[in-house]
Amino acid sequence: MSRRSVLIIYTGGTIGMVKNAKDGSLKPLDFENFYNYLPVLENYPVDISFKSLPRVIDSSDMMPAFWKEIGQIIYDNYEEYDGFVVLHGSDTMAYTASALSFMLENLNKPVILTGSQLPIGMLRSDARENLINSIEIASTYENDVPVVPEVAICFENKLFRGNRAAKINAENFDAFITPNYPLLAEIGVHIRFNKPFIAKPTFKKLRFYGDFDVSVGILKLFPGMPLSYVESVLLQPDLKVIILESFGTGNAPTHAHFVNAVKKAIEQGKIILNVTQCKGGSVMMGKYEASKHLLDLGVVSGYDITIEAAITKSMFLLGLKKQQKDEIKKLLATNLRGEMTIQDLY
């Protein structure tokens, strides 16, 4: 077995922050002094390299242009490293993980995103454990084949499929869940990989798609929505895909005003993707009368996809540009990267 190599890509966020000794303010870590904070890694049998985005950001400022930068770094260095660890703010980590999963087709190496709730320089920081675990997973191979050849999030001793994850807690170290998919691994004394649920290597050449079209909107349903609000989203001329955050298994109002607004939006050429507001469970249009009208109108089922994956998948498919509307609708309802489980009612 050859010695493994991992590239750490720093995008910003809490994990890479340390306190300024003079005024106590937080500043980005100088990675030349990285081993001062994690000396245990100096003797770890993995070659670790570092690369930062040209401009590190708070994850609240994450945009598709930054997704493209991260993906480009992975693509450009793909043959040089056995695995990749992306240091990222936790607030939008699930969006970036989902975006990377769609951008990197035929991925055969680990891309592990991690972050922390406390800066690495603080005494009780969760950054050290999250980072060490991520590096170990990114460099774990069996019979010269990576154990986790997909985009994943490593946080608080758990490994999640990236495009199935959602952040659910702003304070606890245990901040992420994948409500509709099992954990890829649990980390204790040993790392116990859940191999039946980890993607299998394709051994095909990596393909990179870096363009996103942000003509995507969200209409979150709630009781008493003004018709003017519904129409302002559904009939917004700049939107090509509208994600309908529906109730339960995909249910929505059946009154004429709402139905007519949906119908008019579809007639204008917009694609409407039905995603449940519930963290767990799946859209099953037609199960109840309150969703059959959406099925009849041509609304696309998002099944059990997360809102984060629905947004990034829509932007990704629109960004391919050559795809026609019917093809985009078909692909939205297709499991491309393990992001959803297809459960047809009929």
Q: How far apart are CA 40 and CA 59, in angstroms?
A: 28
HEC readout, the chain: CCCEEEEEEECCCHHHEEECCCCCCEEECCHHHHHHHCHHHHHCCEEEEEEECCCCCCHHHCCHHHHHHHHHHHHHCCCCCCEEEEECCCCCHHHHHHHHHHHEECCCCCEEEECCCCCCCCCCCCHHHHHHHHHHHHCCEECCEECCCCEEEEECCEEEEHHHCEECCCCCCCCEECCCCCCCEEECCCEEECHHHCCCCCCCCCEECCCCCCCEEEEECCCCCCHHHHHHHHCCCCCCEEEEEEECCCECCCCHHHHHHHHHHHHCCCEEEEEECCCCCCCCCCCCHHHHHHHHHCCEECCCCCHHHHHHHHHHHHHCCCCCHHHHHHHHCCCCCCCCCCCCCC
Structure tokens at 185: 């691994």
Q: How far apart are CA 282 and CA 275, in angstroms?
A: 8
Q: Are strands 151-155 and 145-146 parallel, antiparallel or unpaired?
A: unpaired
Give the residue carrying structure tokens 């998919």: 181
Q: How many CB atoms lie within 10 A of CB 56?
A: 18
Q: Which of 14, 92, 178, 276 is catalytic?
A: 14
14 as an active site residue: the answer is yes
CA dihedral sign of residues 329, 331, 337, 342: positive
Active site amino acids? 14
